[in-house]
Chains A and B, each alone.
Chain A
Amino acid sequence: MRKLVFITFLCSAAWSADWPTDGGNPQRTAWQKDEHVLNKDNVKGLQILWKLKFDSPPREMHSLFAPLILEQVKTSGGVKQIAIEAGIADNLYAIDVEAGKVLWQKHFEYPPVKEGRGLRPGDPLCPGGMTGTPVIGPPGANGARTVYAMAGDGQLHSLNVADGEDVAPPFKFGFGNGKSYSLNLVNHILYTSTSQGCNGNPNQMWAVKLDDPQHKVMTANPKSGGMWGRSGVAIDSNGVAWGPTGDGRYEKETQTYGNGLIGAKVEGDELKIVDYFIPSNWTWLQKRDLDFQVTPTIFTYKGRELLATASKECRVYLMDVKNAGGDDHQTPLDRTPLICNEEVNFASAGIWGSMANWADARGTQWVLTPFWGPVHSNFKVPVSYGPVKNGAVVAFKVEDKGGKPQLTPAWMSRDMNRAEPPVIANGVVYSYGNGENTEQAYADRGLDDSSPLRIKNSTHAVLYALDAETGKELYSSGDQISTFSHFGAISVANGRVYMTTFDSTLYCFGLPGK
């Protein structure tokens, strides 16, 4: 009997799954490799296990960010599986996910931000506050885990996941109200990126060594409109952090890398741009505001480390991280045809957010992208599920063609109202239509990107589970989610699927009794 208990414990420990950062890992694969509860057969039984509404008011359209999950956290009340949830109103919550109850919460207080030029009320682009999803570091010597969170004033806080206590004094890392994106952490180096010049911030990549007593802030600036990949930067095995540069110009002579992708690496005490990619039609992207702005996803395929990324133009690019874009920095390994955005719309179509990848049991490598708006009339995909008018997820297989890895369309999901970055777990793809009103311009008056208007015209998010190999719908949350989700994300771990919404609610889906 004792032997059986021990074996059960071992299995449990082996199956334990964490989600310590946005996208699951520094490569932003969004692939939960350790999910063993939910599968293709039982996911149809998903239910809302619990939902928590936090006293953390939204700012503009932003509210809560991707939950982070640690399965085995030693707390004063025993070992618990904890979700860390960040709110834009500078709040951090730790939730006992078994009980669906808050274990501790923290509010970051600071004097009014004086740096910068201020924020514009009603501007959804620059909400201020804590905008970057925190990150949880690896276990310390004592097994404790630290969550790193950057408050709206740019101060980086280091808190014990178990109790929320400071484990180190906060220090200045980012730009106050500067709209930092999801934090990433590799080898004690913390990364983020900033965009849209919010509060006058410099749009750039940021890094700091956590073990540097001086906490020197290192930056790499592509001189663009902003590095607004939703999940921040993705980091390859060589420590190169890859981030899209958003709108802007390309001028090699002045190291201006707008509408492209930069790879930056910490060398000594500097963050240096070591490689870049600029699409050959960057002038077109700039002219139509089709920013290159999707956080890449990184994977290894037949011994080569590759990354996939995309833009609002609605193509997916495949590159080798050792030589992104080839000698001229403009030649990717593959560039798909246009998937969507036939209207060339800057606001309500194209690929937004981040991507995902996974490998199935047969070794087939998959790359997934969400998109918004109608599918392009010329896009051919062998498997699809009815007309797509509002958005969908598309899956590609990575295949060798003529000795080069290529992206072959495999399936396109059902229509989703603004499909958001997928997560793959145990053969199931989770994604959601965010239900957000994405209009930024109107026939009667032109450009008018206004949070109140968009909030008023938004509906509600819908979570979907799809067969990862066919795209077939396995589950839909229907009308169960009350409001939309802006800049949210899915997290999956240990039989639970988490997502957040504008009304400051964290939803936990799962199978009752599992």
Chain B
Amino acid sequence: MKGTFRMRKLFFTVMAVAVAALVMSGADWPTQSGSPQRDGWARAEKAFTRENAHKIELLYKYKADNQARGLRALTSPMINGMLITYLGFKEMLFFGGSGDNVYAVDADLNRMIWKTHFDYKGDKPLASPTATCPGGLTASLAMPGSSSAAGGRGLGAAPGRSGLFATGFGRSGIFIAVSADGYLHALNTSTGGDKVPPVKFIPPNSSAGPLIVNEGVIYTATTDNCGGKPNAVYALDMSGGEGKLSSFAADASGIAAGTDGTICVQTKDGLHALTRDLQAKESFKATDGGSAASPAASPMASPMVFQWKGKDAVVWGNLHLLYSGTDAPSRTETTAHSPLTFASWEDAPDGPRWVYAAAENSVEGFNVEDRNGSPVLKSVWKAGKGGDSMVTANGLLFLLSGGKAPGGKATLRVLDGLTGKELYSWSAAAYAHDAGLAIANRRIYFTDHSNTVYCLGFMAEQPQLTGR
């Protein structure tokens, strides 16, 4: 009888999800570069095309009451595509502010839903900001999931998981943030309140890279030895309720998660493959003499994982390619100039796998080709003007260049992903340090140093803004 009841419950759950999937669509952009693999691929996004990209326009600006610290202001925007709150269905834009703030904004209406400010509780005083060590909230926020969740939160993950990371249609979720005092906060998506007591995560006054949430573990990497502590990668396993902390000493420029849970850490001289609790599995030295992306260049220079023939491939450093599909990991190298960011998509089922690498002054598009069972990168096009953050969607490449402080301006460019031809360009009012780009549900988002979030798209598709 119990079994029957369970079956019925499961049936209704599945039906509810299926119905929801039919009637609602809301893709997430849950973390920097869209997924723990950092592939920057907005899989569900079909709104922008080669034909209409030139018509992209500013939909709105959201000005946050945040105080910039050093070069930092707002973190990269994230999107929770469909959240059922006690106030109704919401597509939620959320981001952090250097003044130890977290904001949740109704992404459709450009209206604040909630703001949370963290009171500093570190065992050391709040540090004064410097160019390299701004203090404050530095890590881009994250939530569980992946941009591959075309149907929005809960539809890309198995429903019914219990605890802090419970998912499922209509369930309240969490946004993860790390405050200036180094505490990790799991915030109720509906209210911004702490869903569980904050947990000590990284040293206070650290400069932390973008957060990843993977299999119940939250990861970040600290840079520039801020807060008087050496750089390290940190992991806080929250899957069991109480946080279990681990760390790995490294000058990491970025981290990405493999689909098997392997944590890939890029450092100046190589790539480290770690277990989910940061135990060393293997290390791979850069064969080009240590000219991989400098950690100092950008904490966002992370490796990228993509699937090739059903197995993980990792792109890192100067386009080193590591593939797990052979008995021994195969490696290939392609010369590039200190890429800052990668993106990748696959023109399935028959099209090629594309990999993009952007440096400060250039961006290059590659096809992944098969060489004796191992993937290699073959350059297809190269264009001038680079960027700090990339998203690929529907065969287009969206590239954000942060501009130079203090007078520069963050610039969004849209390129044809097949040819590199520029289709569109738009500049913000100010520069953006460690700028991050987000795309979800027919809209493009980024932030700049003026504490402003920019949202672009097509106004004709926004009846709630036009009143039509």
The verdict on B24 contacting chain A, using a C-beta distance below 8 Å, is yes
**Does the CB pair B171–A287 fall under 8 Å?**
no
Q: Which residues of A contact B19 (CB under 8 A)?
A: 197, 225
Contact, CB under 8 Å: A286 / B11: no
| A288 and B463 within 8 A (CB) | no
Q: Which of B8, B85, B188, B191 is the one whose CB lies under 8 Å from A441?
A: B85
Which segment, of A176-184, A276-284, A480-488, faces chain B?
A276-284
Chain A 307-344 interface residues, beta-carbon cutoff 8 Å to B: 343-344
A247-B23, A443-B191 known; A344-B84 Cβ under 8 A: no
Q: Does A289 contact B (CB under 8 A)?
A: yes
Find residues 91-122 in chain A having any chain B CB closer than 8 Å to their own CB.
117-118, 120
Residues of A within 8 A of B173 (CB): 446
A344-382 contacts to B, CB under 8 A, are 344-347, 349
Smallest CB–CB gap between A263 and chain B, Å? 23
Which residue from B83, B190, B463 sits with its C-beta under 8 Å from A283?
Answer: B463
Distance in Å from the Cβ of A407 to the closest Cβ of chain B?
16
**Which residues of chain A are within 8 angstroms of B85 by Cβ–Cβ distance?**
441, 443, 446
* Contact between A248 and B172, CB atoms less than 8 A apart: no
Contacts of A441 in B (CB 8 A): 84-86, 88, 170
A211 at the interface (CB under 8 A from B): no
Q: Determine whether the beta carbon of B171 is less than 8 Å from that of A284.
A: no
Shortest B345–chain A CB gap in Å is 26
Is there an interface contact between A442 and B86, defined as CB atoms closer than 8 Å?
A: yes
Which of B108, B191, B463 is most buried by chain A, counting CB atoms within 10 A of its CB? Answer: B463
Closest A residue to B464 using CB positions = A284
Q: Is the CB of A347 within 8 A of B88?
A: yes
Q: State A346–B108 Cα separation when bound (angstroms).
A: 15
Q: Does A444 contact B (CB under 8 A)?
A: yes
Q: List, in ascending order, chain A residues with CB within 8 A of B89's CB.
A: 287-289, 344, 346
B169-192 interface with A by 8 A CB criterion: 169-173, 188, 190-191
CB neighbors of A among B72-126 (8 A):
82-91, 106, 108-109
Pairwise interchain contact A447-B463, C-beta atoms closer than 8 A: no
Point out the residues of chain B lying under 8 angstroms from A347, CB to CB. 88
B15, B84, B188: the one within 8 Å of A447 (CB): B84
The interface residues of chain A lying within 8 Å CB-to-CB of B91 are 287
CB-defined contacts of A280 to chain B, threshold 8 Å: 463, 468
Q: How far is the CB of A482 from chain B (nearest CB, A)?
A: 28
Are A249 and B172 interface neighbours, CB within 8 A?
no
- Which of A249, A346, A443 contacts B190 (CB under 8 A)? A443
Contacts of A248 in B (CB 8 A): 23
Name the distance in Å between B169's Cβ and chain A's nearest Cβ.
7
B303 CB within 8 Å of chain A: no
Report how far A258 CA is from B191 CA in the complex, Å: 32
CB 8 Å contact bits of A461-499 with B (1 = contact, 0 = none): 000000000000000000000000000000000000000
Which residues of chain B from 4 to 49 have any CB-CB distance to chain A below 8 Å in the complex? 8, 11-12, 15, 19, 23-24, 26
Given A248-B23, A284-B464, A443-B191, decide whether A344 and B109 contact each other with a Cβ distance below 8 A: yes
Whole-angstrom distance between the Cβ of B332 and the nearest chain A Cβ = 44
Given contacts A441-B170, A445-B172, A447-B170, contact A346 B23 (CB under 8 A): no
User: Chain B contacts of A288 at CB under 8 A?
Assistant: 88-89, 108
Give every chain B residue within 8 A of A284 (Cβ-Cβ): 108, 463-464
Report which of A287, A343, A344 forms a contact with B24, defined as CB distance below 8 A. A287
Interchain CB contact (< 8 A) of A345 among B8, B87, B169, B170: B87
A275 within 8 A of B: no
Interface set, chain A 236-260, CB cutoff 8 A to B = 247-249, 258
B82 to chain A, nearest CB (A): 8
Contact (Cβ within 8 A) A286 B24: yes
Q: A117-B11, A443-B86, A446-B85 are in contact. Are A281 and B463 (CB under 8 A)?
A: yes
Q: Contact at A120–B170, with CB atoms within 8 Å?
A: no
Chain B's nearest CB lies how many Å from the CB of A234? 25
Does B88 contact A346, Cβ atoms closer than 8 Å? yes
> Min CB distance, B428 to chain A, in Å?
27
Closest to A337 in B: B467
Report yes or no: B188 in contact with A444, Cβ–Cβ below 8 A: yes
| Residues in A neighbouring B84, C-beta threshold 8 A | 346, 441, 446-447
Complex CA gap A280/B460 in Å reads 11
* Tally of A interface residues using CB under 8 Å: 32
Is A439 interfacial (CB-CB < 8 Å)? yes
Name the distance in Å between A124's Cβ and chain B's nearest Cβ. Answer: 14
Nearest A-chain residue to B192, judged by Cβ: A443
Q: Which residues of A contact B83 (CB under 8 A)?
A: 446
Distance of A425 Cα from B102 Cα, bound (Å): 54
Contact at A118–B8, with CB atoms within 8 Å?
yes
Distance in angstroms between the alpha carbons of A117 and B19 in the assembled complex: 14
Chain B residues with CB below 8 A from A345, complex form: 87-88
How many whole Å from B166's CB to the nearest CB in chain A? 9
In Å, the complex CA distance between A448 and B170 comes to 8
A445 to B169, CA, bound (A): 11
Chain A residue, CB-CB nearest to B83: A446
A447 near B26: Cβ-Cβ < 8 Å: no
Q: Which of A118, A287, A443 makes the CB contact (< 8 A) with B172? A: A443
1/0 contact trace for B189-215 toward A, CB 8 Å?
011000000000000000000000000
Chain A hits for B12, CB < 8 A: 120
CB < 8 Å: which of A225, A349, A439, A446 contacts B23?
A225
Of chain A, the residue at the smallest CB distance from B462 is: A284
Most chain-B CB neighbours within 10 Å: which of A258, A283, A447, A448? A447
Instruction: Report whether B464 and A343 are in contact in the complex, using a CB–CB cutoff of 8 Å.
Output: no
Q: In the complex, which residue of chain B has the Cβ closest to the Cβ of A259?
A: B23
Q: Mask for A273-309, Cβ within 8 A of B = 1, else 0?
A: 0000000110110111100000000000000000000
**Once bound together, how far apart are the Cα atoms of A344 and B169, in whole Å?**
19
By a CB distance below 8 angstroms, the chain B residues around A197 are 19
B88 touches A343 (CB 8 A): yes
Docked complex Cα distance between A120 and B15 (Å):
12
Q: How far is the CA of A381 from the CA of B83 in the complex (A)?
A: 33
Q: Which of B15, B86, B87 has the most CB of A within 10 A?
A: B86
Residue of B nearest to A225 (CB): B23
Question: What is the chain B residue whose CB lies nearest that of A448?
Answer: B170
Q: Smallest distance from the beta carbon of A222 to chain B beta carbons, Å?
A: 13
Contact of B88 among A118, A281, A289, A442 (CB under 8 A): A289
Question: What's the least CB distance linking A33 to chain B, in Å?
Answer: 37
Whether A444 and B88, one on each chain, are in contact in the complex, defined by CB atoms closer than 8 angstroms, is no
What CA separation (Å) do A444 and B83 show in the bound complex?
13
Query: Which residues from chain B contact A344 at a C-beta distance below 8 Å?
Result: 87-90, 106, 108-109, 464
Quote the shortest CB–CB distance from B255 to chain A (angstroms).
30
Q: How far is the CA of A345 from the CA of B87 in the complex (A)?
A: 5
* A280 (CB) vs chain B CBs: closest residue: B468
Residues of B420-465 whose CB lies within 8 A of A:
461, 463-464
**CB < 8 Å neighbour of B87 from A249, A343, A444:** A343
Q: How far is the CA of A117 from the CA of B106 in the complex (A)?
A: 37
Contact A445 B88 (CB under 8 A): no
- How far apart are the CA atoms of A356 and B203 in the complex, in Å? 65
CA distance A443 to B192 in the complex (A): 10
Chain A residues near B171: list those with CB within 8 A.
445-447
Across the interface, do B26 and A287 meet the contact criterion of CB distance under 8 Å? yes
Report A's interface with B, CB cutoff 8 A. Answer: 117-118, 120, 197, 225, 247-249, 258, 280-281, 283-284, 286-289, 343-347, 349, 439, 441-448
Closest A-B pairs by Cβ, 7 of them: A447-B170, A281-B463, A446-B172, A345-B88, A446-B171, A443-B190, A447-B84
16 cross-chain CB contacts under 8 A: A197-B19, A247-B23, A280-B463, A281-B463, A283-B461, A283-B463, A284-B463, A286-B23, A286-B24, A287-B26, A288-B88, A344-B108, A441-B85, A443-B188, A443-B191, A444-B190
B contact residues vs A (CB 8 Å cutoff): 8, 11-12, 15, 19, 23-24, 26, 82-91, 106, 108-109, 169-173, 188, 190-191, 461, 463-464, 468
Extra contacts, 13 of them, besides A344-B90, A346-B84 (Cβ < 8 A), are A248-B23, A249-B23, A280-B463, A288-B89, A343-B87, A344-B106, A344-B464, A441-B84, A445-B171, A445-B172, A446-B83, A446-B84, A446-B170
